[in-house]
């Protein structure tokens, strides 16, 4: 367990790191793009080799705090003049012996996209446990994970709209709580690991973020009877065999069978949401005995005692063998090493016992309706590459559009004025020698990067949405040009235009 972090010492360390220019950009510049990418694959040698004999603060701190390599006490003293080796030791981040500073944790600069920030980005310093490259072997079961791809994904998904009170379940190193505090007034961060909560408190102090409260416990136990405006969770959703010789990593294994951790969250979160409150999480779900994973998630939502709006997006799916290989490797056991084949067999046996043929991964957004019954039930697979950042803003805009659309009947919607979103483009495909296109496609440059084929009438309507005339007037004009019945064309186009408005191709003027 980490010692309780001293606020003044954390402030000194932050000042030292800032003065040293210890940023992700500086490190990438020091050892190059190839070595930086190799670090993500667990290879430290290219970065260490690129630094060679350099002894400036960026090189010293890069080796010590990024790569997890011991450094001389003298060089650390020069690089961290306020904190010193003794300060790192008091924070539980290093040990000092025989003139050497040996890291016990990493403190890595983490840049991230933030559409709400003035320059479109922000950065943190995030402390976490040493990874398998620094340890030289598999991770201990109480390992506290740093910032990975899933962490950044969920941070980017968080809604940027303001809220009073938030909850981060399974806080780990605290990145989601830090992100939530950018728009939420007070955040409660929970975890089953005292060490993880220690890192959460340390990282909050290191980054000068207040109003993050930590509590020990599983799922909703630490907040029994409480409600929140915003709940976020990157839960320990990794499906792990429940047998004794398979490591149960706290950061990824919730101790339940199959996808029961995610199911428990979905079924139980409604009781902890204020009316209008929103929960967001990442998760895995199994396709079992022919029942698709998304259909099983739909059943979990329906089983909630509190009715919920739901928007679930499956981003990828893996067969059982690929899933097993992914997570066996993640724990530091590689092909050809002792135990690899045994662990793979344990995973496959576990999946076979439940008749699992596929495992999906994706995003879950749940909302407790402010009043009345749920109006949003959307379960979709979107496996294409995402075009960029700003997903949190996209989700917030989609929810606002949905609420406005729900309040409008067809006559009201037809009277609405719409505009094409600035990231939308149109592609037309022609057979050589023919004037009319065979395919008309609308493409979205932001959001989920959707692309869809449209017919000439819908393409004409989208092209005419310039914020001037109501949609109904435009449809009537298009019907006249096409020689079509205006009422029939309205009945055909309005539901599809509603969908385009929800998904962000069109916006209310």
Same domain for 153 and 104: no
Same domain, 432 and 370: no
In a domain, 127, yes or no: no
> Are 371 and 425 members of one domain?
no
- Give the end of a domain, one of 346, 381, 404: 404
Does 272 fall in a domain?
yes
User: What is the pLDDT, as a whole number, of residue 115?
Assistant: 61
Listed residue (211, 167, 208) closest to 13, CA to CA = 208
Q: Please say if the pLDDT value at position 302 is more than 90.
A: yes
Exposed, middle or buried: residue 478 (CB in 10 Å: 0-12, 13-18, 19+)? buried
Is the domain of 90 the same as that of 178? no
Instruction: Report the C-alpha gap between 349 and 343 in whole angstroms.
Output: 10
Shared-domain flag, residues 454 and 392: no
Q: Are 98 and 165 contained in the same domain?
A: no
Beta carbons of 58 and 20 less than 8 angstroms apart? yes
Residues of the chain above pLDDT 70, percent? 98
pLDDT for 242 equals 83
Alpha helices in 147-254 (DSSP H): 149-157, 175-180, 194-206
- The reply to whether 503 falls in a domain is yes
Residue where a domain stops, chosen among 350, 369, 404 = 404
pLDDT tens track for 340-385? 899 999 999 999 999 999 999 999 999 999 988 999 999 999 999 8
Task: Judge whether residue 132 has pLDDT over 90.
Answer: no
Answer whether residue 118 is part of any domain.
no
Decide: pTM greater than 0.85.
yes
Give the closest residue to 461 by CA, choosing from 422, 496, 508, 411. Answer: 496
pLDDT tens sequence across 64-73: 999 999 999 9
Which of 198, 156, 162, 195 lies closest to 179 in space, CA to CA? 156
* 400 and 411 inside one domain: no
Whether 123 maps to a domain, the answer reads: no
pLDDT of residue 438: 84
What is the total count of domains within the chain?
3
d(CA 61, CA 72): 11
The DSSP code sequence of 386-434 is: P-SS-HHHHHHHHHHHHHHHHT--HHHHHT-EEEE-TTEEEEEE--TT-
Closest Cα partner for 172 from 138, 140, 127? Answer: 127
DSSP secondary structure letter of residue 253: B
Percent of the chain with pLDDT over 90: 79
Same domain, 174 and 304: yes
Residue 479 forms part of a structural domain: yes
**Does residue 424 share a domain with residue 297?**
no
Does 357 share its domain with 455?
no
Query: Does residue 237 share a domain with residue 367?
Result: yes
Domain of 90, in residue numbers: 7-109
Residue at a domain's end among 86, 109, 132: 109
399-435 pLDDT, tens per residue? Answer: 999 999 999 999 999 999 999 999 999 999 888 888 7
Q: Is residue 430 part of a domain?
A: yes
Q: Say whether both 321 and 277 belong to one domain.
A: yes
């Amino acid at each position: 367990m980490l010692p309780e972090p001293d606020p003044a010492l954390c402030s000194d360390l932050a000042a030292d790191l800032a003065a040293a220019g210890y940023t992700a950009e500086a490190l990438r510049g020091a050892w190059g793009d190839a070595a930086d990418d190799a670090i993500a694959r667990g290879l430290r040698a290219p970065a260490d080799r690129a630094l060679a004999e350099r002894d400036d603060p960026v090189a010293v701190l890069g080796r010590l705090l990024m790569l997890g390599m011991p450094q001389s006490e003298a060089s650390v003293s020069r690089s961290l003049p306020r904190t010193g080796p003794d300060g790192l030791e008091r924070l539980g981040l290093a040990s000092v012996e025989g003139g050497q500073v040996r890291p016990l944790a990493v403190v890595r600069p983490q840049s991230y996209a933030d559409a709400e920030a003035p320059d479109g980005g922000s950065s943190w310093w995030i402390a976490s446990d040493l990874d398998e490259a620094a340890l030289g072997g598999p991770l201990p079961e109480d390992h506290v994970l740093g910032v990975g791809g899933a962490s950044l994904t969920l941070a980017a998904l968080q809604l940027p709209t303001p809220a009073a009170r938030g909850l981060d379940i399974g806080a780990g190193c605290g990145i989601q709580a830090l992100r939530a505090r950018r728009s939420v007034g007070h955040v409660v961060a929970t975890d089953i690991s005292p060490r993880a909560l220690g890192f959460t408190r340390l990282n909050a102090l290191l980054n000068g973020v207040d109003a993050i409260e930590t509590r020990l416990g599983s799922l909703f136990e630490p907040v029994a009877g409480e409600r929140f405006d915003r709940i976020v969770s990157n839960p320990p959703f990794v499906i792990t065999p429940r047998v004794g010789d398979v490591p149960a990593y706290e950061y990824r294994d919730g101790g339940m069978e199959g996808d029961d951790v995610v199911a428990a969250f979905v079924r139980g979160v409604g009781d902890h949401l204020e009316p209008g409150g929103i929960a967001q999480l990442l998760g895995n779900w199994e396709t079992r005995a022919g029942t698709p994973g998304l259909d099983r998630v739909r059943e979990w939502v329906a089983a909630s005692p509190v009715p919920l709006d739901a928007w679930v997006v499956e981003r990828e799916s893996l067969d059982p063998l690929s899933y097993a290989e992914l997570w066996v490797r993640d724990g530091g056991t590689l092909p050809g090493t002792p135990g690899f084949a045994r662990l793979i067999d344990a995973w496959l046996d576990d999946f076979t016992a439940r008749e699992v043929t596929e495992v999906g991964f994706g995003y879950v957004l749940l909302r407790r309706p402010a009043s009345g019954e749920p109006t949003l039930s959307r379960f979709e697979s979107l496996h294409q590459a995402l075009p960029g950042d700003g997903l949190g803003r996209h989700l917030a805009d989609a929810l606002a559009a949905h609420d406005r659309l729900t309040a409008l009947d067809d006559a009201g919607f037809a009277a609405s004025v719409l505009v094409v979103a600035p990231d939308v483009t149109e592609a037309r495909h022609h057979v050589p020698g023919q004037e009319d296109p065979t395919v008309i496609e609308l493409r979205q440059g932001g959001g989920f990067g959707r692309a869809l084929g449209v017919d000439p009438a819908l393409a004409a309507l989208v092209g005419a949405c310039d914020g001037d005339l109501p949609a109904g007037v435009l449809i009537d004009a298009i019907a006249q040009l096409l020689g079509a019945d205006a009422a029939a064309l309205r009945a055909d186009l309005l539901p599809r235009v509603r969908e385009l408005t929800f998904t962000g191709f069109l916006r209310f003027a």
